[in-house]
Amino acid sequence: VTIYYVPLVNPDGLDIVNLLKDPIDDPDNPVFGKLDEYTKVTWKANARGVDLNKNYPFIFEEVEAINPTQRFASQDYHGPYPASEPETYAMINLCESNDFQFCINLHTKGKVMFWRDEGNGVIEGDEKLARLINKKTGYTMYTPTTNPLSYGAAHENWFRYRFKKPAICLELTAGNDGSIPYNLINREKYGSPIYDYYGTRVLDWEKTKSLMLMLADEYFD
């Protein structure tokens, strides 16, 4: 069994949140240099203001019709067309160049897993994979997603559609008031009960660091 890890899909977003960089280093951009600090530390999109997890070619047009956002934003802007962003294209290329049997996306808010959506329906092996993760982590198997705005154009949902194989989004940290990502810089700047709460629960890494090895061992039994 070969396991592929992608340690970071949105490096620009990480720099915006952690280093408070401006999203697009372009004086012609109308928001360049005008974002307040809170907007930066809660930034979810890439440096072009596109939410990468809404940029994949899976019911993209339906998402666009429901939410016709046409502008740069800190989150939820799906981009001008499917796979418009280099980060999205890179992930699509990686998946299409390999015969992956399943995909696990690690996100950082909620302590739940999203494992099935209404658009794709039942995928062979999806419940088995979700139950194995639940057994290892204790994370809740969330009710199958029914809102196209929640599952449309997202990576794991595109993966299910494209390959007819399981893909799960695993939210690693608690979700209580978690709009400000946990990191040391934010802990110093925004010392509050939010970080006292997160401090003992952040990432649940002890539960997740061996997850892939366990899945590789038990999923294929």
**Residue 3: inside a domain:** no
Task: Output the pLDDT for position 124.
Answer: 98
**Residue 211: inside a domain:** yes
CB 43 within 8 A of CB 74: yes
Residue 178: CATH number of its domain = 3.40.630.10
CB atoms under 10 Å from CB of 202, counted, come to 17
Q: What is the pTM of this model?
A: 0.85
Q: How many alpha carbons lie under 13 Å from residue 184 in its C-beta half-sphere?
A: 0
**Residue 187: inside a domain:** yes
**Domain assignment of residue 187, given as a range:** 11-218
**Residue 193: inside a domain:** yes
- For the stretch 103-162, pLDDT in tens is 999 987 767 899 999 999 999 999 999 999 999 888 889 999 999 988 999 999 999 999
CB 100 within 8 A of CB 165: yes
**Residue 101: inside a domain:** yes
**Residue 6: inside a domain:** no
**Residue 117: inside a domain:** yes
Mean pLDDT on 203-215: 77
**Residue 2: inside a domain:** no
Question: Based on the structure, what is the number of domains in the chain?
Answer: 1
pLDDT of 24 > 50? The answer is: yes
Q: What is the DSSP track for the chain? A: --------S-HHHHHHHHH---SS--TTSTTTTT--HHHHHT--S-TTS--GGG-SSSSHHHHHHHS---S--SS----SSTT-SHHHHHHHHHHHTS--S-EEEEESSSSEEE--BTTT---TTHHHHHHHHHHHH--EEPPPB--HHHHTT-HHHHHHHHHSS-EEEEE-S--TTTTS---HHHHHHT-SHHHHHHHTTGGGHHHHTTHHHHHHHHTT-
pLDDT of 195 > 70? The answer is: no
Task: Output the pLDDT for position 58.
Answer: 97
